[in-house]
Structure 1
Amino acid sequence: MKTQYRLAAERDAEQLLKLTWRAYEPIRKLGIRFAAAQADLDLVLNNIRKNACYVMEEDGRIIATISLRMPWGQQPGPYGVPHIWWFAVDPETGQKGVGTKLLQWLEQTILRDTLKVPFVSLGTADKHPWLIEMYERKGYVRAGEKDLGKGHMTVYMKKQLRHDL
């Protein structure tokens, strides 16, 4: 199997929408109102155009996606560094560590080695039964929380990527 990481293009939008709907089905069932969980084609295209939307392909098929909102963009994160959002793994891939591989590639290759950022942030729902603990296992620490009017508290997390700055 050949794995490739790349920026998403507009031609990927329909495939990303289908992947996102499959991946975020459990989130919708929990009643958590992440933007990606309710995505439509326009939102996917907007994400591709306005953010750094990456895909992971296996043999030419998109199996996962993750996006960065930049501090200078329309929806910056809370800490002046790139902010991870819209992280989805196609449930059809099974539990193969695909999400971990994509996240590590983003953290190391893009954020640490290319952009040279000292840390990265993300936000998740306090009501999600396992996401906070998953990110903590991956080295993220809680950095704050905020009520964004979505029916849950958004828990902000950070991960140190460089120790030389």
Structure 2
Amino acid sequence: MTQTFRLAQEADAPALAELLRQAYVSNTELGIHFAAAHVDTEAAKKHITNNVCYLLEEEGKLLGTISLRMPWGPNPGPAGLPHIGWLAVSPTTGKKGIGSRLLDFIEQDIARDQLKCPGITLGTAVEHPWLPQLYEKRGYKKIAETDLGLGHTTAYFKKIIIKSFR
């Protein structure tokens, strides 16, 4: 079965919103309240319109999503670089490396190879039991922490993806 990436379209907003709500349930159960956990169709449409949002599908089934918030967009990241947002894997896919595939795609195929970005950022909750460590293992370095008023502390991470830009 072939997995394919494609840019999300406005018509994908209901499916995207449902995927995000399902995928973020486990975070909510941990007491971490990411905005993506409560997204509705209108918010998903706005996200698709304002960001570079990709879907990963297999035979028409939505497996996951990942987005880039651009520095010039309405919700830039912390370092003047593209910022990963709304990374989600359908809980029905099981542990098949979909999250890693989404990150590899956005880091390498999009940010590095297409956009020629020197680096990329992302954020996660400091209190999350495994995400900060996962991102550090992938080469991300913590650059800041802040309280966004969501009930947790957000840690921002940066990864250099074009080594000549150190």
TM-score by length of 2: 0.96
The 1-side partners of 2:146 and 2:19 are apart by: 28
C-alpha deviations, 1:95-127, integer Å up to 9, x for none?
A: 000110111011101000110001100011111
Aligned Cα root-mean-square deviation (Å)? 0.9
**1:7 maps to which residue?**
7
C-alpha deviations, 1:51-87, integer Å up to 9, x for none?
A: 1111111112111001111000001001001000100
**1:85 maps to which residue?**
85
TM-score by length of 1: 0.97
The 2-side partners of 1:164 and 1:140 are apart by: 17
**1:141 maps to which residue?**
141
- 1:164 is displaced (CA, Å) by 2.0
The 1-side partners of 2:66 and 2:149 are apart by: 24
Alignment of 1:10-159 (within 5 A): 10-159=10-159
Amino acid at match of 1:131: L
The 2-side partners of 1:17 and 1:39 are apart by: 6
Which region of structure 1 is more displaced relative to structure 2, 85-94 or 15-24? 15-24
- 1:152 is displaced (CA, Å) by 1.3
The 2-side partners of 1:92 and 1:57 are apart by: 13
User: SS of 2:92's equivalent?
Assistant: helix
Taking every aligned residue pair, what percent have the same amino acid on both sides? Answer: 50
Amino acid at match of 1:147: D
- 1:151 is displaced (CA, Å) by 1.4
The 1-side partners of 2:18 and 2:95 are apart by: 19
Residue ranges of structure 2 left out of the alignment (5+ in a row)? none
The 2-side partners of 1:139 and 1:93 are apart by: 26
